[in-house]
Amino acid sequence: MTPARQLAFAVLQAVETAGGYAGELLHSPRSRGLSPADRRLATELVMGVLRWRAQLDYVIERAARRPAAKIAPEALTALRLGAYQLRFLSRIPANAAVNESVDLAKAAEPHLAGFVNAVLRHLPRDPVAALLAAEPDLRRRREVEFSHPAWLLERWSRHLGPEAAAAIAEYDNQPPPTAAWLDGAAVPEGVALAPGRLLTSAHRVVSGDVVHTAAFQSGAIWLQDEASQLVAHLLEPGAGDTMLDACAAPGGKAALLLRLAPRGRVVALELHGKRARLLRRRIPDPRLAVIGADATRPLPVSGGFDRILVDAPCTGTGTLARNPEIRWRLAPGDPARLAALQTTILANTARALRPGGRLVYSVCSIEPEEGPAVVDRLLALAPDLRVLPAADVLARLRAHGTLRPEAPDFTVGPFLRILPGAAATDGFFAAILER
């Protein structure tokens, strides 16, 4: 078995059985020692399987003559890996795809090898459109065609329109661009960058492994989606502002705020101790204070912040191209559940904002419950806050040369809303408030 396929199998098993996140696992210690080519193949296999899971399961079920839920987890992971290679990666010989998947199953559970071998050798090779032509269940047909849960596609069609829903799903099923910004560093050797699409300070990674460069390890280069970078710029901090980043890990926005305010200070709150320690190591700047704290409870810091950023926990439906496993974990009740959490965090952190100060609330979600509805609830709890028109802030960023002249105007009413793929970025919602 090749190291790439062994890593892909282990990562997919961890994603399915332990709730892991593929992006983190692919860069975990288990990937050490792999060649760049093996890391690329492992990433292609893992992300491809997660993006196209519904379609892969559909053809697997036809060959296995049983539901995917009735197949042993180790066998199902091996089958998905084999099916993805057979249907999506023409450069890989079919025998290699089948034989290595059988070996992976055999290494996990020896008695599964024959079953995996039989299913993959009878796997349908017809285009998915031909396979779905006779599918009587319209919801199932749509779910397989776009490889997203049917309820999520229906929700987007209802709120955004069928064409927008289809465009988002199609974007989610492609590898998204990798964006970065440099903190005064030269471009690392072996890495090629191109200009960003939204921000003049942003770059797109054209080639190279940024994560394994010394510049990345030292915090001189940050991988951060351009829409996420834009959220930090919405705060427009003054040079010496005191800022609060209420949900700070992994730290990209905190690092960017320190760069935007050269004499400023940032207090970063993070609930999870491990992530807080990683953040502290990643940003050694003495102007940053990292505090392990729960933003839903009274803050362990005094108030009077000039700027507060609340990039709140959310469904993440704006990041399904980058984090494809999320789509299979979400449930219909999650947007409302997380909106309640977001409201609590906002109401708690807003108390620390000084008069005249600015608070930016953002989520990498495109669900309405997590956007304007949360802002409405916050304003009912804190009537001394007012919403600033995002269009005015974007106009200033454009005039100052921060936002590219050709960047679209992503506003809906007074809010910022970027749908996935609209500017080759993740989807985001942001509201700008002032006390």
Which residues, including other chains, have CB under 8 Å from residue 325's CB and lie 6 or more apart? 15, 21, 22, 50
Q: Are 430 and 232 in contact (CB under 8 A)?
A: no
Catalytic residue among 309, 364, 393, 432: 364
316-341 burial string, b = 16+ CB within 10 Å, else e? bbbbbbbbbbbbbebeeebbeebbeb
Rounded CA separation 37/39 (Å)? 5
CA quadruple 221, 225, 230, 235: dihedral positive or negative?
A: negative
Beta-strand relationship, 242-245 and 305-311? parallel
Backbone Cα Rg of the chain = 23
Q: Are 320 and 50 in contact (CB under 8 A)?
A: no
Q: In what order do the strands lie in the sheet with 179-182?
A: 192-195, 202-207, 179-182, 221-223
The closest of 71, 76, 99 to 86, measured between CA atoms, is: 99
Phi, psi of 42 (to 5 degrees): -60, -40
CA quadruple 107, 108, 113, 118: dihedral positive or negative?
A: negative
Active site residue 247: no
Active-site positions?
Answer: 364
